[in-house]
């Protein structure tokens, strides 16, 4: 939970004079954590069903944005917590953590889902895509990311990664054919700053570019 309410939103990259930002510091910390887990995992590999105590960690292999991650996790770990706390991908946000706000929307096998209500163990063998996986290999923004920036479709930005993941899926599902349809199919993503009119504009604009 250390990073659950930091309000950083999408305003990352504000490096200070020393070359260290809070985000890069956190990223480094997470890297260390992953290394420790990986070491422990090699000495204590278990199949989930073989765990003797429910408190024993289980080996979980995840495919995130095309990269494999072998983790040793408490069975209670949600996909969201695996991403944020164990892999260091902090783009997906923890909002309500109850499936109501949509800030943790990610894609599993191309379908948008809620990372807070899915166990990490349950998405093994599936392809998970997060906001970090949306950007092109050359660092170019996805058309939806570009549209959110151009249409000022956020204020604090906390809900933005979830909004963008949901919006990309909304277009791919064919449910972005009118402002009304966008509003209905984006209703699972809440924005407390109420940037909704601009979000609808961004989705409709990006749809044109995604289909071009």
Partner 1 sequence: MRPFHYVKANDLPGALQAFAPQNDPTNAAPSVNAATQYLAGGTTLIDLMKLDVMRPATVTDINALDQSKAGQIEFGDNGLRLGALVRMSQAADHEAVKSNFPVIAQSLQLAASAQIRNMASLGGNVLQRTRCTYFRDTSYDNCNKRNPGSGCAAMDGMNRNLAVLGTSNDCIASYPGDFAQALIALDAMVEIAGSAGTRMMPFAQLHRAPGSTPQIETTLTQGELITAFQIPNLPWGKRSLYLKIRDRASYEFALASAAIALDLDNGTVRDVRIALGGVSAQPWRAAEAEALLKGKPIDDTMLLAAADKAFEGARPKKHNAFKVQLGKATLMRALRDAATMTI
Q: How many CA atoms lie within 13 A of 69 on its CB side?
A: 28
Is residue 97 within the footprint of partner 1 (CB under 8 A)? yes
Site string for partner 1, 126-165 (x = CB under 8 A): ----------------------------------------
Phi, psi of 28 (to 5 degrees): -65, -45
Is residue 18 within the footprint of partner 1 (CB under 8 A)? no
Place of tokens 């996805």: 142
Sheet containing strand 111-114, strands side by side: 67-73, 58-64, 127-129, 105-108, 111-114
β-pair type (105-108, 127-129): antiparallel
Is residue 114 within the footprint of partner 1 (CB under 8 A)? yes
Is residue 55 within the footprint of partner 1 (CB under 8 A)? yes
When the beta carbons of 118 and 159 are compared against partner 1, the nearer one is 118
Q: Which of 34, 51, 156, 193 binds partner 1 (CB under 8 A)?
A: 51
CA angle 128–190–62, rounded 5-degree value = 15
Site for partner 1 in 178-207 (CB under 8 A): 183-189
When the beta carbons of 109 and 152 are compared against partner 1, the nearer one is 109
Q: How many CB atoms lie within 10 A of CB 16?
A: 8
Is residue 5 within the footprint of partner 1 (CB under 8 A)? no
Write down the least CB distance from residue 175 to partner 1, Å.
7
DSSP reduced 3-state for 88: coil
Is the C-alpha dihedral spanning 52, 55, 127, 136 positive or negative? negative
Are 203 and 167 in contact by the 8 Å Cβ rule? The answer is yes
Is residue 103 within the footprint of partner 1 (CB under 8 A)? no
Write down the least CB distance from residue 23 to partner 1, Å.
26
Q: Which range, of 86-94, 106-114, 141-149, 197-205, touches partner 1 by CB under 8 A? A: 106-114
Helix orientation angle between 143-150 and 196-210, rounded to the nearest 10 degrees: 140
Which tokens go with 104? 């943790």
Q: Which of 10, 72, 90, 166 binds partner 1 (CB under 8 A)?
A: 166
Task: Write out the residues near partner 1 by the rule CB under 8 A.
Answer: 48-49, 51, 53-55, 58, 74-76, 78, 97-99, 102, 105, 111-114, 117-119, 121-122, 166, 169-170, 173, 175, 183-189
């Amino acid at each position: 939970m250390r990073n659950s309410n930091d309000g950083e939103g999408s305003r990352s990259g504000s490096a200070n004079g020393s070359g260290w930002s809070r985000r890069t510091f956190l990223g480094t910390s997470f890297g260390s954590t992953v290394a420790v887990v990986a070491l422990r995992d090699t000495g204590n590999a278990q199949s989930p069903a073989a765990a003797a105590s429910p408190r024993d960690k289980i080996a979980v292999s995840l495919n995130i944005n095309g990269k494999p991650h072998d983790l040793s996790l408490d069975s209670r770990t949600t996909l969201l917590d695996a991403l944020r706390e164990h892999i260091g991908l902090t783009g997906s946000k923890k909002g309500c953590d109850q499936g109501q706000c949509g800030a943790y929307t990610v894609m599993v096998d191309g379908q948008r889902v809620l990372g807070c209500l899915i166990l990490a163990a349950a998405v093994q063998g599936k392809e998970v895509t997060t906001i970090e996986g949306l950007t092109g290999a050359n660092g170019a923004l996805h058309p939806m990311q570009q549209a959110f920036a151009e249409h000022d479709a956020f204020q604090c930005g906390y809900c933005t990664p979830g909004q963008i993941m949901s919006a990309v899926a909304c277009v791919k599902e064919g449910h972005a054919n009118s402002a009304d349809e966008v509003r209905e199919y984006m209703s699972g993503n809440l924005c407390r700053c109420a940037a909704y009119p601009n979000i609808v504009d961004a989705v409709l604009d990006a749809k044109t570019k995604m289909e071009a």
